[in-house]
Amino acid sequence: MTEKHDQLRAVVWADGRLQLLDQRRLPQLETMLVLEDCRAAGAAIRDMVVRGAPAIGITAAYAAVMAARARFREEPGNWLAGFREDLDVLAQSRPTAVNLTWAVRRMWESAVKIEGDPEPVLLQEAVSIQAQDIQANYTMGRLGAAFIEPGSGVLTHCNAGALATGGYGTALGVIRSAWSEGRLAQVFADETRPWLQGARLTAWELLRDGIPVSLIVDGAAAHLMKSGRVQWVIVGSDRIAANGDVANKIGTYSAAIAARHHGVRFMVVAPTSTIDMTATTGDRIPIETRAASEVLELAGQQTAAAGATAWNPAFDITPAALVDVLVTEKGVVEHPDAERMASLIM
């Protein structure tokens, strides 16, 4: 049963407060941060306490609840004006993950219809967003696993699991489902520099759910594919353009090129909330550039030669032509293009 491999929730609402598993401290420490206001939640998104497009969106939804509560207490007759300001700031926390703006917009659309205390209504909406995400992940897990032949090996990049979503995961949801169904012989994970999401997070949560995993350095992916030990690369996404181009963690594009060269199939798993139909191609997706120190240092220790500079894009764009299968909760698109994407969203 899939439930056997679904024991983790990184975003939790309890006792009127938002609790986030601090992913910066994994796997050494499991620390839940308790947040009581919207600004703290925005900082948590920006500072990578929580990451992964769906989890960012869910966190933003709960942050909106806290913002509305505070504004209503300050000025019951005009709380919407301040609430709008809070949402605008929240939406800028991280620019690439479209689920952030999607969740902010959804919470605003609910807020403008409310008469009286907004907290109960908005909390119900936030809880619904998380529940819908988990259910979507179960659906995607089942749909994606159906493509994997028994005895297969898979490679994943970054972390698109329970830590990056409301629960269960997108790419790791497929891996969890395929493992539960006895389809997988081996799971490999890229370390994923510079934040090491694969080494710290993907390996941790798979092992926590009883799924063995082997780590490789990012540069070993092509050699692994050449060895014949993997038949699929399975990744998530932070934003998908209308033509099927995929924004995901830096290094995804390289993995897709290597997969095509070696005849390894490439699967992207993401909810439809990640699809941005206003971005006609991947060139229209903003790519976040993060601090050079993330590349020049490791765990706060300087590793690069003194005086070296760094370029640190957090994401890259994988062209739709390199995607064999796009799995969403609304169905599967093989070889996505603008026409197939439009049919999916209709």
Domains defined along the chain, listed by start: 2-135 (1.20.120.420), 141-345 (3.40.50.10470)
* Whether residue 3 has pLDDT greater than 70: no
pLDDT tens profile 99-118: 899 999 999 999 999 999 99
Active site positions, annotated? 238
Q: Can you tell me the distance from the alpha carbon of 106 to that of 78, in angstroms, rounded to the nearest whole number?
A: 20
Whats the size of the chain, residue-wise? 346
pTM (global) more than 0.95? no
CA 329 to CA 340: how far, in whole Å? 15
Quick: pLDDT tens for 254-276.
999 999 999 999 999 999 989 99
pLDDT given for residue 5 in this prediction: 73
Q: What confidence tier does 7 reach under pLDDT thresholds 50, 70, 90? A: confident
Query: pLDDT (tens digit, 9 = 90+) per residue, 9-29?
Result: 999 999 999 999 999 999 999
Q: How far apart are CA 72 and CA 312, in angstroms?
A: 40
Q: How confident is the model at residue 1 (pLDDT cuts 50, 70, 90)?
A: very low
